Structure 1
């Protein structure tokens, strides 16, 4: 093999014309993320709460075992709520959960819109 033979597969992709596959350096670790519909549902709720003045900031974390959308009243505080997606729990309790800052799970379920309703309940006037 000459140097030209080794360079050829890199120009056209990982497979050479002879069917050999060159290894890629290191594959990126897989992470869990929200899909477009899930993120749209979360951001719709978030936008309404920002308009009402309840929430001000958010953060998203994509980890190997879960995706987390954290909601803050102020940036420097602990998150008020975390919306978590844990695919490993999808057949059991449900992949989605809303967790408060103390770690208490407010709602867990198989469908994100159902779980998000716990955060979208209207406030009641107490006299």
Structure 2
């Protein structure tokens, strides 16, 4: 055995990482409402406009959330903000209804249930 040379292993360099441009990003560029969500929100908006309570709206698509703001008059601050924040999906819920002062009226995973806080339906009042 002494006649043979020992086998020597030379470490190889680790493969280089691909350039950042070719790595797919899992974070979307901006968050937006899909068709089903917009139908629910605009359905509520239409009922409230018909009732004379709301007059204007604005939609903002940001990097981490989408916001539908509702105004009584265009020159005022929004009465309510309907927010979609996918980052909070596992915790409090993706959707929230927030007042002008920042008070969260309702938060949850189901948009229809969150919007119920704004949808004033006729209720029978007994005395």
TM-score exceeds 0.5:
yes
Q: Secondary structure at the match of 1:92?
A: coil
**C-alpha displacement of 1:89:** 0.2
Alignment match, 2:92: 93
Q: Secondary structure at the match of 2:116?
A: helix
Deviations 1:35-89 (A, max 9, x none): 0000000000000000000000000000000000000000000000000000000
TM-score normalised by the chain length of structure 2: 0.74
**C-alpha displacement of 1:124:** 7.0
Q: Any unmatched runs of 5+ in structure 1?
A: 1-22, 24-28
In the alignment, does 2:33 pair up with 1:34? yes
Aligned-pair Cα RMSD in Å: 2.0
Alignment match, 1:43: 42
Deviations 1:74-105 (A, max 9, x none): 00000000000000000110000000000000
Q: Which has the higher helix share?
A: 1
Q: Between Structure 1 and Structure 2, whose CA radius of gyration is higher? A: 2
TM-score normalised by the chain length of structure 1: 0.74
1:62-101 superposed matches below 5 A: 62-101=61-100
**C-alpha displacement of 1:123:** 6.6
